[in-house]
Amino acid sequence: MTDRNQILFDRAKTVIPGGVNSPVRAFRAVGGTPRFITRAEGPWFWDAEGRRYIDYIGSWGPMILGHGHPEVVEAVQAAVRDGFSFGAPTEREIELAETIIRLLPSLEMVRLVSSGTEAGMSAIRLARGATGRPKIIKFEGCYHGHADALLVKAGSGLATFGHPTSAGVPPEVVQHTLVLEYNNVAQLEAAFAEHGPQIAALMIEPIAGNMNFVRASVPFMRRCRELCTQHGALLVFDEVMTGFRVALGGAQSLYARLIPGFEPDMTVMGKVIGGGMPLAAFGGKRAVMEQLAPLGPVYQAGTLSGNPVATACGLATLRVIQRPGFFEQLAARTRALAEGLKAEADRAGVPFSVDSEGGMFGFFLLPELPQNYAQVMASDAQRFNRFFHGMLERGVYFAPALYEAGFVSAAHGEAEIEATIEAARAVLPTLAA
């Protein structure tokens, strides 16, 4: 009998390129048939065959409360009854903006949009408009959405001008994008020495979640801040993934504890602030944000920006995560998962390193945590694929790609963590050869 997931995948491929609406969902990296999800509840979801999985992707981060949290569902249902979309301002947009600004002290104003890609693209345009400069710095392995100027691969050597990593992106579109190695202070200093007066912004994932889970070192982040200040460039934190996920104040709050006076100039947000609905934002200091239309010359607009249902979902989610002890409990549960996986790998004699912060984690089939994209690429992809499918067969759904971070929700309890570790206990010894 044919698996219904396969039937749906074959059907999808006739009408949707690759059968999916976002590439990683196609299982091309790990092989096999993607699971078509029919419903979700708490820490689980179910596929088209009715099989249940412990969900560690959480819609790639937004589902910090788990699926179907009653307070969020109630807020969304109430918003739907009032109307799906108005194309006019609502009070709820103000409330969400005020909440974000209160939780992230580096922000004085925010603009709501519908996706992380839109937020990142708009932040770069605003940085260029506010500074009057053309160049931007990004880092290999950091993903900031699929805007043309950010779809760039690093070249060799110092501050190599990028080359497009997607067809349809003309080289001249990325000629002003400098791609550097993550956590490489010497290369960063040399890039500013050569191009400083032309650099509008440095955009960075403070914890890179698209090369699995790689932290920016404190010395590296300190130099990013110092050099941006020295040369008049804007430091843009991409917290689409880490914002309200690794800490209530985002990753920037973690660096502020370690670097006196630290804060980014602009922040890009998404995922958790929408609670699973299409919602994102970018924000910064008033002097920069007032360069946006209708006040300033930098144009940005969106028909569904500040959608009333999405803002209701996001506000309900942010209300819950502000409760006392929420992040302490979430972080403890995530650490228990990470430490349990590490212990089983050590017992099985499999090279394994793991890190976590808040409700976000990553593991590598490497003896030490990597510090940049080249080191991440040294991972054994085939061994990871065997681990992924072994866990999937036992009802544990990790990201179907070696280079993606994982996510724990408040709905993941001790039983789910122990079940995951038990599955790993069975799978990891098969990787030891």
Residues with catalytic function: 143, 238, 271
Q: State the DSSP H helix or E strand holding residue 226, giving kind and residue range, or none if neither.
A: helix 218-231
Terminal C-alpha separation, the chain: 34
The helix/strand/coil state of 201 is strand
- Amino acid identity of 346? D
Q: What's the token pair of residue 148?
A: 């043309």
Burial class (CB in 10 A: 0-12, 13-18, 19+), 343: middle
DSSP 395-406: TEE--SSTT--E
Supply φ then ψ for residue 110, to 5 degrees.
-135, 155
Q: What's the token pair of residue 125?
A: 């345009």
DSSP H helical ranges for 58-139: 70-82, 91-103, 116-131
- Residue 61 near residue 272 (C-beta atoms within 8 A): yes
Bridge-based pairing state of the strands 207-208 and 199-204: unpaired
Sign of CA dihedral 276, 282, 285, 287: negative
Q: How far is CA 188 from the centre of its chain?
A: 23
For residue 105, say if its preceding peptide bond is cis, omega within 30 degrees of 0. Answer: no
- Residue 281 near residue 250 (C-beta atoms within 8 A): no
- Amino acid identity of 7? I
Rounded (10°) angle between helices 218-231 and 250-258:
90
- Residue 348 near residue 433 (C-beta atoms within 8 A): no
C-alpha span between 344 and 352 (Å, rounded): 9
C-alpha span between 239 and 222 (Å, rounded): 17
C-alpha span between 397 and 384 (Å, rounded): 13
| Cross-strand bridge partners of residue 268 | 238, 282
In the chain, DSSP finds a helix count (H) and a strand count (E) of 13, 18
